[in-house]
Amino acid sequence: MLVLALIRHLPLDSAYVSALRGPEYAGWDRHAYMLADVYDAFNALTWLYQAAHSDKPKKVKPFPPYPRPGAQEAEKPTKPNPLLARLRGEDAPAPVIGPGSKVPLPPPRP
């Protein structure tokens, strides 16, 4: 039991924990995560300063976050495409082209 308790509380940069988590986590301890957070905070403040002192603040783009192991980029929401949904055999609502007009879609494939 003592050995399990010792293994459970190994530091994040130990060889055992790096082998368990994967090679992309090697060298990432609490200090590296904190430095990445400081980097992101500094970039956010820089973006805020640039947006506040710019003639066109909406054109100032925020900086991307510092890449961290295991972090995945958020997927951008896409608009549904009824034609592709029908071609895949899925149910899709008919698209509205203008006020009160609807485009007929082909029936779904069997």
Q: Between 47 and 26, where is the model more confident?
A: 47
> If we measure between CA atoms, which residue out of 109, 103, 104 comes closest to residue 86?
109
Predicted confidence (pLDDT) per residue in 12-44, tens digit: 778 888 888 888 888 888 899 999 999 999 999
Q: What is the pLDDT of residue 92?
A: 66
Within 10 angstroms of residue 76's Cβ, the number of other Cβ atoms is: 5
The single-letter code of the amino acid at 78 is T
Q: What is the Cα–Cα distance from 74 to 51, expressed in whole angstroms?
A: 24
Global pTM value: 0.57
Q: Between 65 and 101, where is the model more confident?
A: 65
DSSP 96: E
